[in-house]
Amino acid sequence: MVCIGFCLVQPLQAQQVVPSDKEVKELAKRRAAAECKDAIFKKDCRKAEAQTLQAANEIDKIFPLALKEGKAIVAIATLDMGYKYPDAPSWENNLADHVTDTGTSVAVELGTTVEWRNIAQSDKKLIVGEERPFAKVGGSGFLLELPGKGPVKYQVYIVDPGTYRLSRITHPMPRTSLPVADGTASVDKSYVGSVDLTETIFNETKFESQWFNEQWSTRPPYQECAAVHVTAGCVELRWVYGEEYISREAGYYDVSVAVPAPGLNVGIGINGEFASFSVQASEAIVVDGFFPQPPNTRFSTADCEKTDTKSMVCDIEAVDLLYLPASSDVLHSHDYSTIGMPRFNQIIGKAQLRPLDIKARPVSKSELGAIYQLAAN
């Protein structure tokens, strides 16, 4: 998909081939048609389409200006949720009394962030995440989201030049409680890093049947015939105001009810050298990515200490991440000028793959790719 805080193309389902430009444009047309289907006034829909293209054009202007000012453009590989979960429910729609393993996994990964921090300027960072568009979170968020191949898609960021190190992972962990701390470990002693666990409440949804009385509504004013001529038909109209009608019969109806569910917010700080990349001023590059597949940290409760009644910190022995290889050829295969971004199309067309400096080691294979691990020994 191509997104600018909102999506210009509907999500791609699981597939093994890269969609052609013709297919991308066709998907965009289908999405626009679907959004227009129920529009009361077609001109409103056409206006919305024009506004979408205008928004794309405004975003498009940012990229050459950023390069001119000495910034850099990074297209980084990340996990394509539409590939891994082609039919997955959203977290909000999970039933509180029947949350599937898949649903919980979706909730975790939709809320996951992967932080790459500038080693020379700790306040400069690139944070990869499904729910972190620039329009929502500001400078560390992505400006565009682009289709890839298989489990990989791309998020595009504007960053300051420098070297960026994989420094932190965060994700929610629904239906999980704090472990019992056995020790009094001090914070940040581990070479690998530490994990912060904080209790929180998630809202799940269940449906229950509730009784509702009949509901009355008022019709909008309308005209009806007030006088009929035998040969001429209706010869006089009158306005009818305030006519009431039953818009919902009395009865039992299913309604959604929010149900609080305890869980944890997990923050994994990586002290050791897992992976890094460097980018120069006025440069556009494509880089590989990493993404967690929780549970992806190993620690002992003997190495944990409570920081207050609702949180604790634990030194970690190892952290595992899914490796997502990037391909500049995939990004070059699309013509983004067809969706209102000719400037970006020129820039990304020249972007080259920048290999990561990976210090972690591959330890296993999953259905989605290789798993890399940073361990204390």
Tens of pLDDT, residue by residue over 277-299, are 999 999 999 999 999 988 889 98
- Our CA dihedral for 223, 229, 232, 238, rounded to 10 degrees, sits at -10
- Encode 185-212: b = buried (16+ Cβ within 10 Å), e = exposed: beeeebebbbbbbbbeebebbeeeeeee
* Closest to 171 in 3D by CA, of 106, 94, 99, 85: 106
Residue 5 has pLDDT above 80, yes or no: no
What's this model's pTM, rounded to 2 decimal places? Answer: 0.76
DSSP H helices, the chain, are 21-37, 42-68, 81-84, 101-110, 134-137, 328-332, 342-350
Q: How far apart are CA 168 and CA 116, in angstroms?
A: 7
Question: Is the pLDDT reported for residue 355 higher than 50?
Answer: yes
Q: What is the pLDDT, as a whole number, of residue 17?
A: 41
pLDDT digits over 298-331, tens only? 988 888 988 888 999 999 999 999 999 999 999 9
Look-up: residue for tokens 């009355």? 216
Q: What is the mean pLDDT of residues 364-373?
A: 96
Region for residue 251 given its phi and psi (left: phi exceeds 0; alpha: psi -120 to 50; beta: otherwise) = left
Q: How far is CA 105 from CA 25, 84, 108, 177, 264, in A?
A: 31, 11, 5, 16, 14
Distance CA 369, CA 332 (A): 23
- 3 state DSSP class of 287: strand
What are the structure tokens assigned to 281, written together? 């001023």
**Amino acid at residue number 83:** Y
pLDDT (tens digit per residue) in 49-82: 777 788 888 899 999 999 999 999 999 999 999 8
* 180-207 per-position pLDDT tens digit: 876 554 555 688 999 999 999 988 778 8
Instruction: Please give the Cα distance from 105 to 294 (Å, whole number).
Output: 8
Instruction: DSSP letter for 5, please.
Output: S
Amino acid 183: pLDDT = 57
| pLDDT, tens only, 97-119 | 666 666 677 888 889 999 999 99
